[in-house]
Amino acid sequence: MSPTLSQYERGEIVGAWKMGHALREMERELGYPYSTIRDIIELYKKTGATVTLYVKPEKQLSPRTKRKLARDVKENPFVSLTELGQEYDVHRTTIARYLAEINIFSRVARRTPFLKAHHINMRIIYAVQYRGFRWDLVIFTDECTICNMNYAPPRCLRPPNEQDNPLYTIPAMAGSRIAVNVWGAMVKGKKLPLLNLTAEIKRREPNAEKWTLTGDRYAEYVLFERLSVYAAELARERGGGWTVEDNVALHHTNLCRSIRNECGFQCIDHPPCSPDLNPIEHLWAYIKMRLARRRQATTKEELWEQIVDVYEREVPQWFIDTLVDSMPEQIETLIEREGLYTGY
């Protein structure tokens, strides 16, 4: 491109092009080389300008500064790229580019349970005690509150500019949060039914002031009527049956203890603050993930139907078996990490 053309002359070329004149025609009329006219127009298409804009050279980090940056990030991994850019007087992308060279990237920090020293000790004792245990004899249990708004809204396939079409929207009235309290049990080789705790309490105690789960209700509706039956069946079929419950306070009332003693429960002492050691947590996560692909429920009854349908039709038995079979590996990982969170 000729550097001798003034800004006015370059604007003249762009103006003629906008008026619809062909390049060869402009070559004859204006007297500029065809290649110059072509290059100016191509530059205008790409940048919106008729001259090459000056780009300030990016400030580089010296080797000494890079070493200091690596130390700072190691000492404070939660500092943002913007803050680092302001401290080192470079653009945040320069910081990110160098960190990528040393295999450090900006990622969302995973939330883990808060473990105190005695929690870690109890986790180590648990790992040593149940190393090599037959986990196919264990029933893993847990409660979970599943809400119609605690998962991402489903994606839909629609034409452009149809985002407000009722066919592609999800109704959400004010105060439309709906939740169902679910109890579940998981064992290798069979799929045990889920229990809608909210509906069960309401059905059995229609005149109660509150239908929340209490220790006495848990003892009667879950331990005595269901879990004791599942454990007895497992013991008859496989020669042994153990149960896992988390350390929620309502699991340890006097009535719960007496029912366990009467029914002959064999319980595994689950360490506190250890959801990573109960594989049924992955089952709840999978159900919520599958619910996210469905249309949002508007009533508790509809939400419960969706939960049951997902559990019965979309949760394969091999998925449950794989979760149970992962326990030996989790125990070994727990020992390797000296009681810290395993990441499962």
pTM of the model: 0.70
Asked whether the CA dihedral 181, 185, 191, 195 is positive or negative, the reply is negative
Among residues 213, 341, 222, 323, the alpha carbon closest in space to that of 279 is found at: 323
Q: 68-104: b or e for each residue (b if 16 or more CB lie within 10 Å)?
A: ebeeebeeeeeeebeebbeebebebebbbebbeeeee
Query: For residue 307, what pLDDT is reported?
Result: 95
Beta strands 138-147 and 267-268, pairing class? unpaired
Query: For residue 175, what pLDDT is reported?
Result: 55
DSSP-derived secondary structure for 102-148: TT----PPPP-----HHHHHHHHHHHHHTTT--GGGEEEEEEEEEET
Query: For residue 1, what pLDDT is reported?
Result: 45
Please say whether the beta carbons of 48 and 40 come within 8 A: no
Q: CB under 8 Å to 220, separation ≥6 — which residues?
A: 255
Please say whether the beta carbons of 285 and 153 come within 8 A: no
Query: For residue 171, what pLDDT is reported?
Result: 64
Query: For residue 191, what pLDDT is reported?
Result: 92
Q: How far apart are CA 93 and CA 61, in angstroms?
A: 12
Q: What is the DSSP letter of 297?
A: P
With respect to CATH, is domain 117-154+176-337 assigned 3.40.50.2020?
Answer: no
Instruction: Kindly list the averaged pLDDT for each block of 10 residues, start to end, along the chain of length 344.
Output: 72 87 86 88 84 69 90 88 88 88 83 86 93 93 85 68 73 69 94 92 84 88 92 90 89 90 88 90 92 84 94 94 94 91 79
Domain spans of the chain, in order of start: 7-47, 63-102, 117-154+176-337
Query: For residue 316, what pLDDT is reported?
Result: 94
Q: How far is CA 252 from CA 34, 126, 246, in A?
A: 88, 19, 10
Residue at 87: amino acid letter: E
